[in-house]
Amino acid sequence: MPDTLQATAIAEIQSADTLEALQVVKTKYVGKSGLITRELSMLGKLPPEERKTRGAEINVVRQGIQAVLDEREASLKRASLDAKLQSEAIDVTLPGLPLPSGGLHPITRVYDDLINIFTRLGYNTVEGPEVEEEHYNFEALNIPWYHPARELQDTFWLADGRLLRTHTSNMQVRYMVEHEPPLKMVSRGKVYRYEATDATHEAMFHQLEGLVVGEGITMSDLKGTIAEMAQGLFGAGAKVRFQPSYYPFVEPGADFSVYWQNPRGQMEGKAGKWLELGGCGMVHPNVFRAVDDLREKAGKARVYEGKTGFAFGLGPERMAMLKYGIPDIRYFYANDPKVIGQFRGELNGV
């Protein structure tokens, strides 16, 4: 019986062509309820002198079956691995799959153009906190708590008394506190205003702020800088126009516009138009006094009284909307690839 059992088991093991089939054979013969286990359980019914001999024979059979099982299992695992490697093989000589290229966001592109222009003019580029103290955002910029200009900038206030900055002009004050004139800087970043959103307004948008301070800085220096920026953006023939305007932190103040001929408009037979880019003016003496007060509190010398300077600010969103024909400011932040993807080639210079 043991010899016949062993021969039958080995035949079934050899014919098992999968690991699952082999497990069925293994359970049948050496499992807890298998045939070998059953033979061992019957040894107690035999006479003592026969029990030892029969037990030794069954153990030899079990060991023989287990050895063949182990060998067959190893063989099937190797075959399974070889098949998997064959099916998942990669031909590294084949060309790669084409993937769509990325592109710069229109706002990033406009920012880069502006920063490149001002870097060539010797300006330092800085960034500052978006969560700001009231003093830097308003009071040091000649906008005290009772000033009507605060009504023009609906503000996001935080529970600790700070706020989300309403303009990048806060960096004028912070930069002057840390640096002595002469200086030239531009600051870029996000600003926030609590207002209803529509095609031309968002609660969050971007600004670029510029500041120059030194001896004998005049309005003509400001106009020359704006003209240089306009020509860098729109070509050597760009024309600039200034109109008087009011900003609390400059005196006199002005809005500046550029006459811009849209290439798309030329193709459609449309004439150019004046594009208002931002505001500017000569830094108000009260701002210089506030900066010197902050410097004095920090143990630094008062160095801004008697100095002159100019400041300007503009919004990249407005420039990008007109330059790339984007009708709604909300498209910039919708993360819609069908919208942004239209500018991938143009923004990469393709």
Convert the pLDDT of each residue in 172-210 to its tens digit.
999 999 999 999 999 999 999 887 777 667 888 899 999
* CA gap 62, 66 in Å, rounded: 6
Structural domain includes residue 191: yes
Same domain, 295 and 147: yes
Average pLDDT along the chain: 84
On whether both 277 and 228 belong to a single domain, the answer is yes
Inter-CA distances, 262 with 130, 318, 322, 346, Å:
34, 14, 8, 15
pTM: 0.67
110 and 277 in contact (C-beta within 8 Å)?
A: no
Q: Distance between CA atoms of 23 and 33, rounded to whole angstroms?
A: 14
User: Domain end: 58, 87, 116, which one?
Assistant: 87
Q: Given this model, what pLDDT does residue 5 score?
A: 74
> Are 240 and 320 part of one and the same domain?
yes
Over residues 8-20, mean pLDDT = 82
In this structure, the answer to whether residues 231 and 309 fall within a common structural domain is yes
Cα 211 to Cα 173: distance, rounded to the nearest angstrom: 10
Domain count, the chain: 2
99 within some domain: no
Over residues 70-92, mean pLDDT: 85
User: Does some domain include residue 94?
Assistant: no
pLDDT at 350: 39
- pLDDT category at 322 given cuts 50, 70, 90 is confident
Q: Are 283 and 70 in contact (CB under 8 A)?
A: no
Q: Identify which has the larger pLDDT, 254 or 72.
A: 254
Residue 157: DSSP 8-state: B
249 and 313 together in one domain: yes
- Specify the long-range contacts of residues 329-334, CB closer than 8 Å, at least 24 apart: 329/199, 329/200, 329/201, 329/202, 329/205, 330/197, 330/199, 330/202, 332/105, 332/106, 332/107, 333/202, 333/204
Residue 100 lies in a domain: no
Sole residue written with tokens 């062509």 = 17
Band (114; pLDDT cuts 50, 70, 90): very high
Judgement on whether residues 79 and 202 belong to the same structural domain of the protein:
no
pLDDT, residue 12, reads 81
What does the pLDDT look like over 219-253, one tens digit per residue?
999 999 999 998 888 888 888 999 999 999 999 99
220 within domain boundaries: yes
Residues 305 and 238 in one domain: yes
Residue 80's pLDDT is what? 86
On whether both 76 and 205 belong to a single domain, the answer is: no
Q: How sure is the predictor about 153, in pLDDT bands with cuts at 50, 70 and 90?
A: low
Rounded mean pLDDT, 248-259:
92
* Residue range 266-284: mean pLDDT, rounded: 77
- State residue 61's pLDDT score: 76
The rounded distance, in Å, linking the Cα atoms of 144 and 163 is 15
Residue range(s) defining the domain that contains residue 58:
2-87
The Cα–Cα gap between 321 and 317 comes to: 6
**Does 311 score more than 90 pLDDT?**
yes
Q: For 142, left (φ over 0), alpha (ψ -120 to 50), or beta?
A: left
Higher pLDDT, 266 or 72: 72
Share of the chain above pLDDT 70, in %: 90
Q: Are residues 42 and 111 in the same domain?
A: no
Q: 173 and 287: one domain?
A: yes
pLDDT given for residue 271 in this prediction: 64
